[in-house]
Amino acid sequence: MPSENGAWKLTAKAKPYLDSNLVRRLKLFVEKTVPERGNSLIGRVYREFPYFASRSEVITRVIPDATERRNLLKKTPDMKGQLLATIGYEGDSIDGYLDRQIRNGIRLLCDVRRNPLSRKTGFSKNQLAAYCDRIGIAYRHLPELGIPGHRRRELNSKADYDALFAEYEAEDLPEAGDSIQELGRLLSEYSRIALACFEKEPESCHRHCVAEEMERKLKSCPTPVHI
């Protein structure tokens, strides 16, 4: 809490809930960060973590020197070349989820859920599309590539998942040729796309089936990467 002079300090009430290592880290954070505000703080974040500056709309204000800006942006990860990624949001926050996309240079999020609704804040269709738009990532919903909810019930073992995906690959994907071709067109247009669904592990999600079908059917399709 802030003291009378505006400085921050740990109260006696809070200390029992914090281990010594966390107390040390909090003190270090306060000492390094709290004195800075506004553009100064943003500038330091950009200099220490350049990828945050890669899509910044305020970088010219925060770092006015053009030479420094160019040198800084050279330090961002290489986002050239095509990328076919898959991503799940299970166990993640919307901030962490968007961060993974930025770190991998994703330009289009392709939602392959049949019903893009979630009780988790930020992950229903309209919310997710709006969040992506704010950071310059396009959003496309492809419900025809989803699996109906009733077929996802009673998945209690790896064998259950294997049977579900075998059925999906045998019955659904052969009927989804137009959607696979559309994904190929989107990959060509946006260069770096991610297939999005819920499950954290791709092996537990049909998105890995879609990605592998793209690799089989589309010429020059990159090997899928799970982020």
Average pLDDT of span 177-186: 97
pLDDT at residue 206, as a whole number: 96
Residue 26's pLDDT band, with cuts at 50, 70 and 90, is confident
pLDDT at residue 16, as a whole number: 61
* Average pLDDT in the chain: 89
**Tens of pLDDT along 140-157?**
999 999 998 888 888 888
Average pLDDT of span 184-189: 97
Higher pLDDT, 16 or 26: 26
pLDDT at residue 93, as a whole number: 94
Average pLDDT of span 118-131: 96
Directed axis angle between helix 125-134 and helix 94-103, to 10°? Answer: 50
Residue 183's pLDDT band, with cuts at 50, 70 and 90, is very high
pLDDT at residue 68, as a whole number: 95
Residue 14's pLDDT band, with cuts at 50, 70 and 90, is low
Catalogue all structural domains in the chain, each as residue range(s) with its CATH number.
15-73 (no CATH), 83-226 (3.90.190)
Above 70 in pLDDT, residue 123?
Answer: yes
Above 70 in pLDDT, residue 5?
Answer: no
Q: How far apart are CA 81 and CA 209, in angstroms?
A: 23
**Tens of pLDDT along 57-94?**
899 999 999 999 999 988 877 777 999 999 999 999 99
pLDDT at residue 8, as a whole number: 57
pLDDT at residue 21, as a whole number: 82
Higher pLDDT, 201 or 12: 201
pLDDT at residue 135, as a whole number: 87
Q: How far apart are CA 62 and CA 67, in angstroms?
A: 13
Hey, is 91 helix, strand or coil? coil
